Structure 1
């Protein structure tokens, strides 16, 4: 029987339709599987949730840690507040704390983490936020050079869109393997990560070049794109309005090494002080709030043995800072009960 042009066209059309339906079926099947497995354990599907944190970076681990109901207090920021040990804050305040800091993030990413945490903790017992130089950028979008999985902490449309990325597909497979392994490794549920070893392994505190960089003074002029005005004030007020008035909020101006402080009276000194002043003013709109300011010339800031570089302090100073944060939280809670 001869094949007519019309029948050939119908055959090709049927094949193309079959191919498209197959591709669509595979796509829908993968997406359904990914939603079911929930590769980063966001809680959108709890069927395979195991109440443990799979080893991963803090950028993605914030999804599972931030929704954990066991932790009614949170520390949010970047590596400048990451050495605040949550278990120590818990011992000193009686509040179960989780460390949600994500390295190399600024206000945009940190407020996304805060939003996620507040979605799952309507009445937090306490919040600790780190306000470093990234808060003083003059771009209201607070752009970052490093990627951040906003989709992971967003609504369903963003989440579904994020799942079709190749890294998410890889994590879907990785999590499935982790779930099936009876001896799977877990990460700290409270997010504690002491990164001292990482810095020491890179020669900080030993390498002459790194020691010299620590002692290099900053100039008198403001950092690029940090000269004001400061959009952080308006943004921070909006975030604070979402936090219950009885929740203590402590803002930390984290320590920097003395050489990172600008010359007194210089344009940079005035600009940085003005930014911190605006953060303080915004914070004052919250009924239960306090500032822990380590930019006020404390003796510890002059000790090079307490710093890796000009903005990253070591664990001994971190412990001192932890105590001061805890004291502020206890004081605020006492005031709210009087």
Structure 2
């Protein structure tokens, strides 16, 4: 058990065979790298596990705990069962297919990373905050490349961020001078797990190298013309920091496609939710109704037009995603019944022949 604690095991979980439990340290396509805190193994899913998978969310992700059968002599393991998660960061998978994709699991904190240049995008940050709250982990805003900005520029950027990340800690850091690193580590004590999330080129992999004091992740410079980044991390991997915390690095996402988030809109947009509660009518559409506190806030500057439009856009997007997911669930159920009907019909014909 002491070895599992080294990689973040929660001792409050009972009735688990700790001899055969490991943590997913890296995922690359269909291969898994796992650890029990003492030994590492190359792992794959058992046939029984695969047969029981009904949804992409059932598959293991970096940070997951799983029960395995160890093949000690080969340094391999067969994954038999997934231990229930206490948090999961999920997004809509890229492409036209309606499918959830787990970015990281069982993290205590989500570090939402943005760089202090003209790629700083508070609208994108709102999306990450929404998904972070939905994950069950605590969000922290990390602003990188502090050494490239003046003191006034840093203050202005933090002020912009704090207008949308209400009540969320914001830390500005430099991977070059290490300024702000100690403050950041206060949010990641030993034994805890954090996931780094953000666009390409914001400095996630550089931050991993800084915290490990070792160049384990490849890094590339951003384009000077627009501060856009290039993909460097191509898979998800968890690193153990020298003092005992865990850090999950993930590939950069140019745009985070939401999978869920209705229940976290009030946390992400607490200011707008507060205004809505002060509207004269409970079913106020915030358009032309009398006594609309939201319209009043827009007019007097208490609420920015851009933030309110972002709020409405995310509501529409989540409603659209929910309709797509419901349609997919309906089609899957319909196909399931068709398959069962064919099986029954084939069985009936077989019995008649006998």
Shorter-chain TM band: under 0.3
Structure number with higher strand proportion = 2
TM-score by length of 1: 0.25
- Higher Cα Rg, which structure: 1
